[in-house]
Amino acid sequence: MSKVRRLWNNSYCRYFSVQQAKKKLPIISCKHSELNHYQGQTYNKFKGIPLASKGWLHHKSKGDYFIIYGNANEKEEKPVYRKSFEEIGVCKELIEVMSDAGYSLPTEIQTKAIPTILEGHNSIVTAETGCGKTLGYLLPIFQHILNWKPSIPEEFNSPLAVVITPSRELANQIGDVAQNIAQNLNLNVTTLVGGKTKQKMINPPIEYCDLLVTTLGAYSKLVTTGIFKIHNIHHVVLDEADTLLDDSFVEKLSYVLRKFSIQYKVEIQTPPVGCQLTFVSATMPQELPEAVQSFVDPDSLKTITTSRIHKLLPHVPQKFMRIGKAQKPMELLKLVQADINMKRPVIVFSNKTATCDFVSMFLNENNIECVNINGQMAVVLKEGKFELFRTGKVNVLSSTDIASRGLDTTHVQHIINYDFPLYTADYIHRCGRTGRLGSTQNCSITNFISWPREIQLVQKIETSVRKHEDLPSVNANIKRLIDNRIMKLTKSSII
């Protein structure tokens, strides 16, 4: 075959494959349609990948945008046989509770996690946001408690299992879910959060408790003072474990968990022997901190995950808009007003408390009722405001990342990142507040992109989708990343 004919054939094949791909809906739809990306589309490794966001560092790029409709590595899945709760070992009492709550079959992560936890293994449960991880560990814990309780003498403030979280909001939410299950099983759930810890130390609570859901700070103080006992605890869950393993928490976490007799594998008998540990999160660092070795043998941990971990939500369109800082308020007002007109609950995320407060004030001044929450707000005030949003009394919430982790807000239909997050893990968790298990359809995400660091992360995200790869740099140790960045900036300024 001649060289000319060979070149013509190669060119025709490439043209044909692109045309075939374009018959499908694009995975990435761009303002400039020649940059669209389609299922199955590949790129010449020598020419590089054409990005819609490539020129966004230039001020003339303002007004450009692209929309990601799904991850390029999401293949059309063939229907698979889904096991029932009975087949994965869930007892009849819990199956009845799930049936009454409207759950007929377990989700993928529940199908994988429940049998492993029931067998007594230490585990790391990592799966996409909103897929049912909470029930994935609560159901086997309640089943264990039902078996253990008759043989363990009942004592005040002496739970059989404990769930530890990094935030009060998440603890209250998990506590509500657990309480809804426990009330049908004659089991006791206690939710313990900070804010009035000194009062609890002066006037200790005295109650029977089978499952304790708590924040790390409050639990550490009340265990140290002996108000809550640990000798009957046979299962510890770390929910949003990536945050608890961050440098901000891990020292205190290690101090508390060293008090438990965490085994390589708990002997599931009556009564049980040892304590079981479960890590749960939507994002986990590739390597666990060294401090983990002080309370559990890393070799004992079984990793349980799904194929969609560290990927963009395939069923929620995500729009990336390149706009200037001065344009953001009016663009926000336009989007939120449209949401209000369509009665779509919306969360607006900002990176800083001051911006979060401004967003709330700006929307309220323009006759859109909005509540805001941030980490610097008083506990009672914060919980009250979030409850207004959760119950639908107010449909617009302005928040920092405090509302991005673990909170189950199934009625949220729109996420607006007024400030684009600076870390991939934060983006995953923010997006996970919509499109969750049980959410309504037609959910969406809108991102405002203004600053160079935001643009750099967007370029990495777009590249990963076009290359059919996982999202980049999903390292949840945010404090360490910030410290490393400050160190680099300090060194460069000295040089």
| Position 468 in a domain | yes
289 & 404 share domain: no
| Position 83 in a domain | no
Q: What is the pLDDT of residue 408?
A: 58
Token pair of 370, please? 């909005």
27: CATH: 3.40.50.300
| Position 6 in a domain | no
Q: What is the pLDDT of residue 206?
A: 79
| Position 12 in a domain | no
Q: What is the pLDDT of residue 407?
A: 62
322 & 262 share domain: no
Q: Is 216 helix (H, G, I), strand (E, B) or coil?
A: helix
| Position 16 in a domain | no
Q: What is the DSSP string of 232-282?
A: T--EEEEETHHHHTSTTTHHHHHHHHTTS-B-SB-B-SSS-BSBEEEEEES
| Position 495 in a domain | no
Count of domains observed in the chain: 2
**Predicted TM-score of the model (pTM):** 0.78
Q: What is the pLDDT of residue 94?
A: 96
300 & 315 share domain: no
Containing domain of residue 108, as a range? 100-305
Instruction: Give the DSSP H/E element, type plus range, for residue 138.
Output: helix 133-148
| Position 94 in a domain | no
| Position 87 in a domain | no
Query: Which of residues 274, 305, 336 is at a domain's end?
Result: 305
Q: What is the pLDDT of residue 40?
A: 84
Query: Which of residues 255, 274, 305 is at a domain's end?
Result: 305
- Whole-number Å distance between alpha carbons of 321 and 63: 7
Do residues 296 and 253 touch, judged by C-beta distance below 8 A?
A: no
> Angle, nearest 10°, between helix axes 108-118 and 133-148?
30
Residues in the chain: 495
46 & 140 share domain: no
Query: Which of residues 255, 271, 305 is at a domain's end?
Result: 305
233 & 248 share domain: yes
Q: What is the pLDDT of residue 233?
A: 94
Q: What is the pLDDT of residue 401?
A: 85
- Whole-number Å distance between alpha carbons of 104 and 102: 6
> Could you state, in chain order, the average pLDDT of each consecutive group of 10 residues for the chain (495 residues)?
49 46 76 92 86 94 92 46 89 95 91 95 88 93 94 90 91 92 94 76 81 94 90 94 87 93 84 91 80 91 85 86 96 97 94 94 96 80 80 92 68 94 88 74 92 95 89 61 48 49
- Taking the CB of residue 351, how many other CB atoms lie within 10 A of it? 18
Q: What is the pLDDT of residue 406?
A: 52
238 & 318 share domain: no
Do residues 443 and 374 touch, judged by C-beta distance below 8 A?
A: no
342 & 460 share domain: yes
108 & 216 share domain: yes
192 & 120 share domain: yes
Q: What is the pLDDT of residue 297?
A: 93
69 & 110 share domain: no
109 & 40 share domain: no
Distance spanning both ends of the chain, measured CA to CA: 60
274 & 339 share domain: no
